[in-house]
Structure 1
């Protein structure tokens, strides 16, 4: 899936956005053993600390403070879970994972977060999909490629779906946006297999570009018939 830009959302996109708007805080955990054992499929949001991850989650859910978007990157120190779907019968969980790569964070804390995040991405049985936030102006950095390599085995088998979201695309002109998409597709092609479900979308929390595309993709992961 590659991002498109339409003035009028389709009915499926409107339904997907309404579904995402139901997101509500469930719990927070600093260790794997603190996470609830749930049968609900989980969609994890990951990315560099300044890639706009929390802002993207808030925009998707249409809630200002669902995910903590600090002016100081690197503040998210836990895995935060959010229920999505009807309150009496949620059908998915969003997982906001700690950002990575912010130099000002204490090294010991960074190592601990990285270990917990790696354990989650490699071992969490409920993990259904990963939304990898990439700053569209920078493309895949070395740290992003390491994260991609970490989840590649589960993506390759089709066990975990992957969507690369190229954030802050409002800061790019048309030529730069096309180049950002092409660069991301090339990187993702390195881990693509016959069974892998991989997509890429341009996204802007400011202009809301790509919002419907992202919501529809995530909804499709959970309820394919609704996509």
Structure 2
């Protein structure tokens, strides 16, 4: 986890440099959260009706089945291998991995049926969907590139949050105003200099936020 966090921080610093001088498409309220390993998933909604299968869940299950550590599995995914291929190379199989995830989901669904939160028909339908989606993920050789792209997006959004907060602190502008101006095509540098603030102080403040986050993470 610490290695992933430091990698994310390094990516965030690079993203800071790239974001500073270009217009940025801003979504509604992003928070300054340091990203962890991306979790590409299939599913919809929340609660029991939104049961989902994530890559992170499958990686953990594969690690338990084979004894291969999660970092190695992630590296293999980045090299273009599927989870099924990694499983087969380490004494297991894609089918066994899917079944492990399905078994875990079934125990939860059975409990939901017992508690009256789901009917048996609903649980059966959801379990079939989980199996189908897990099978698709397990055999997908593009997961590594998808996770990399997802992590890059999360890193950029996290970096943007720090930059916007630092801009607000240095200029006195509120965060909502800064986001609106970014959506309208202004760059952060233009916003900062237009408010009479020092761009370097904004960068220093954002980098300091990265440093503090890294220090805190290493102490956990």
Tell me the TM-score normalized by structure 1: 0.22
Task: From the CA coordinates, give the structure whose radius of gyration is larger.
Answer: 2
* Higher RCO (CA-CA < 8 Å; seq separation 6+): 2
Of Structure 1 and Structure 2, the greater strand share is in: 1
| More helix, by proportion | 2
